[in-house]
Amino acid sequence: MGVSDNMPQSYIKKILDARVYDVAIESPVDEARLLSKRLNNTVLLKREDLQPVFSFKLRGAYNKMVNLSEAERRQGVVAASAGNHAQGLALSALKLGVKATIVMPKTTPQIKVDAVRSRGGKVVLHGDTYDEASAYAQKLVQEKGMVYVHPYDDPDVIAGQGTVGMEILRQVTGPLDAVFVPVGGGGLAAGVAAYIKYVRPDVRVIAVEPEDAACLKVALEKQRRVRLKEVGIFADGVAVAQIGKETFRILRKTVDEVVTANTDEICAAIKDIFDDTRSIAEPAGALALAGLKKYVEQHGCEGQTLLAIDSGANTNFDRLRYISERTEIGEQREAILSVTIPEQPGSFKKFCAALGKRNITEFNYRYGDDRDAQIFVGVAVAAGGQGRTEVVESLRKLDYRVEDMTDNEMAKLHIRHMVGGHRPSAVANELLYRFEFPERPGALMNFLTRLGNRWNISLFHYRNHGAAYGRVLVGLQADTSERKAVEAFLGKLAYPFHEETDNLAYQQFLS
């Protein structure tokens, strides 16, 4: 899709004249070599995560600020932002000696709140979404006469973000088949698309949105701006319910295609960026790369040069645990299965043997009755999910009842953490032990083999978290009079273990 005749060429001049380099850097374009090899395409990353505020937002905020009159600057500025625009505005205001008030949703990651305050910005936390914060910011404009600096729907902001597109075409002088741009309100995408489509109309511009915040996709389908009823906030930097008015005017004429990505795909893209750059992108920062990977899969691209804008790196450290958990499924490297096995000694070991050399990533079980055992198991498969069907079919041929839950959202979010419960009355006696063993291929199978069949396993929990040591919680049906015999036997396993039968957490929730 090319630029129509009425696309305002004034944007090109505004982008060329944009004042951004007083505070921003010309970010590099790096090749993602590992991912390029895996996808059979040259994959490039525009590293906006390396900006002083770890996001491209600095460009638009500063360009807006330098275009304000002295009278407007004296009034002070106010903005609503999930974080990155806020940091950009705070740093710009500090540079220009202007007071800045930032209204942020209460759901904003703490790292972004702290970053704004550290740069002299006054933070007001209000509402749970960007739209609620924006409404409150507008209220401050009316009450105190401050100048509102929109995070995306402003010509000067759009022009500032458009310098990213200008740099891309200056830095990538050879073949460039497509540029992938993350979209929230559309400021970055509008600026980049306006410039690229004017200078190199042959380059495809692909907008990428989260599946649960795809306001541009809906607007293009309906040919009008639509407000989404609900917006997912995992990728908080693009959690916008309605595409901007000015940005939509540009994007509807310049974007070739919209690709959406789900949470697991975004998490997988965060890992891809880490593997190639040793940097950690925020969810919105990795969104464009998630879209690039999906585009390659859908179109069967090979031998092309594809560029994704890594738009930011502002994420809370504690969120990495969730990201890591979802990455395996986002890369389709893990199959999540529910399997029924006989409730009898040796069943675990036999089941592990049925899986062969496949790596078990998770194993959760709680005794239910004396007939069948229901286990929740994770199995490593090849990237792209290759081998997932083979695993299921091979187990069914051995007469195991198997349900594939890899795409079951509740299973991934909740059930995997809830398998268990109180000890059934049928388990008269249970001793609980916590083990550690070196984490290596076949380690779990070796553990079960050495544990043997002497005592029935009534509880089992294992999850491979990528640590050097695997950790297992095991319940054994054994009378307390057998405790010495059990511990003498366990001592021969040469694995560190701790009895947890009297642990208060076990007594209250599992016993």
Catalytic machinery residues: 57, 311
- Contact assessment for residue 262 and residue 249, using Cβ atoms and an 8 Å cutoff: no
CB-based burial label for 363 (10 Å; 0-12, 13-18, 19+): buried
Q: Report helix angle 84-96 to 57-66, nearest 10.
A: 40
Tokens representing residue 160 in the block: 């500032």
- Range 70-95 burial, b when 16+ CB lie within 10 A, else e: eeebebbbbbbbbbbbbbbbbbbbbe
User: Residue 329's CB: how many other CB atoms inside 10 A?
Assistant: 22
d(CA 219, CA 233): 19
d(CA 193, CA 204): 9
Please, which residues bridge with residue 181 across strands? Answer: 207
d(CA 232, CA 236): 8
Residue among 55, 62, 63 nearest 14 (CA): 63
Q: Which phi and psi angles does 397 have, rounded to 5°?
A: -65, -25
- Quickly count helices (H) and strands (E) in the chain: 21, 18
